Amino acid sequence: MPAALLRAGHRVSGLARNDAKAAQLADAGIDPVRGDIETDLWAILTVARTADAVIYAAQIAPPAEQQAVASLLETLADSEKIFLFLSGSGVLCQRTSGAWSADSFAEDDAFVPEPLAIARVETEQRVRAAAQKGVRAIVVRPPLIWGPGDHGHVSMVYQSVSVTGAACFVGDGLATYGNVHVDDIADLFARAMQSGRPGALYHAVAGEIPNRWIAEAVARDLGVPSRSVTMTEAAEIWGEFGALVMSVSSRVRDAATRAALGWSPRHSDMLSEIGEPRLRALATSQTQQGA
């Protein structure tokens, strides 16, 4: 995402918790700002006051996120500066235990929030309401983001091979999560900064692939079987939260976003990642790693 903003001519600063992260940002042409949004919020607010736009993409505990976002919005009140909040379609995911869901959600459709995401939905509402307080505040709600270095469903299936010897999916494997490439979501952010409507909520989806299809593609790539696992087995492979992620459906629509921002994704096939060396490395068995 920062690379797209740099190409568009913006000067970009990024928050770094340690020297190693600061060096990575500097190498990418991003001005590093040392700080921790959970433990040193005041320093972050000081920097935010000098920026023309603030993009919030941190992944921290819900109470800390609510406090950080509320403080940032208060700091930016009456400034007419841009505040973009990166949420996610996980707020409307459905616990189907691997089954397909016929439901999909447009930008302002009503839905019952995933219980673990209620605080995130409240934060979305707070951000959108800040448009009435002199902030160009916008929520972007992408689905699974894929691309170089991602940690999504494809990589998780490769990891399952290292644990079980098979490419795994939960239940029927028909749980379906929308997806979008990192370059395309970066383009959407740039468009939202330029012409986004204060108080808007934007979706961004390029396609959707059932988890069973992902597992079958990984199985073909590695010459291993694919197989269904129970939720108990899934927790042993991916941990409790990972098992939940691999078992839910989260299907979204974005027609209003495309019309409002003139956005259209250029990358539509998440399975084009299959076979990348970085992913195949995840399938190396734990036994081989210890040999």
Q: What CATH architecture applies to the domain 36-285?
A: 3-Layer(aba) Sandwich (3.40)
Nearest 5 degrees, angle CA 113-CA 84-CA 2? 120
Per-residue pLDDT of the chain (291 residues; tens, 9 = 90+): 677 777 777 788 888 888 888 898 898 888 888 878 888 888 888 888 999 999 999 889 999 999 999 999 999 999 999 999 999 999 999 999 999 999 999 999 999 999 999 999 999 999 999 999 999 999 999 999 999 888 899 999 999 999 999 999 999 999 999 999 999 999 999 999 999 999 999 999 999 999 999 999 999 999 999 999 999 999 999 999 999 999 999 999 999 999 999 999 999 999 999 999 999 999 986 534 433
* Residue 72 CB burial class (10 angstroms; 0-12, 13-18, ≥19): buried
Q: What is the DSSP letter of 136?
A: E
* Residue 50 CB burial class (10 angstroms; 0-12, 13-18, ≥19): exposed
Nearest 5 degrees, angle CA 147-CA 217-CA 176? 70
Distance separating alpha carbons of residues 138 and 101, to the nearest angstrom: 28
The pair phi, psi for residue 192, each rounded to 5°, is -65, -40
Nearest 5 degrees, angle CA 278-CA 279-CA 280? 95
Dihedral, CA of residue 151, residue 157, residue 162 and residue 166, to nearest 10: 180
In the structure encoding, which two tokens stand for residue 126, read together?
């707070």
Long-range CB pairs of 264-267, under 8 A, 24+ apart, other chains included: 265/180, 265/181, 265/184, 265/204, 265/205, 265/206, 266/181, 266/183, 266/184, 266/187, 267/147, 267/180, 267/181, 267/183, 267/184, 267/206
Helix axes 62-76, 118-129, angle to 10 degrees: 0
Spatial CB neighbours of 111, under 8 Å, sequence gap ≥ 6: 91, 92, 105
Distance separating alpha carbons of residues 272 and 249, to the nearest angstrom: 21
pLDDT at residue 7, as a whole number: 74
Q: Characterize the bridge pairing of strands 31-34 and 13-16.
A: parallel
- pTM across the whole model: 0.91
pLDDT at residue 1, as a whole number: 65
Distance separating alpha carbons of residues 158 and 281, to the nearest angstrom: 8
Are 135 and 80 in contact by the 8 Å Cβ rule? The answer is yes
In the structure encoding, which two tokens stand for residue 117, read together?
């995401």
DSSP-derived 3-state class of residue 49? helix
- Count of residues making up the chain: 291
Start-end of H helices in the chain: 2-7, 19-27, 41-50, 62-76, 118-129, 153-164, 182-195, 211-222, 231-245, 255-261, 277-280, 286-290
Are 77 and 235 in contact by the 8 Å Cβ rule? The answer is no
pLDDT at residue 77, as a whole number: 96
Are 165 and 218 in contact by the 8 Å Cβ rule? The answer is no
Question: Radius of gyration (Cα) for the chain, nearest Å?
Answer: 20
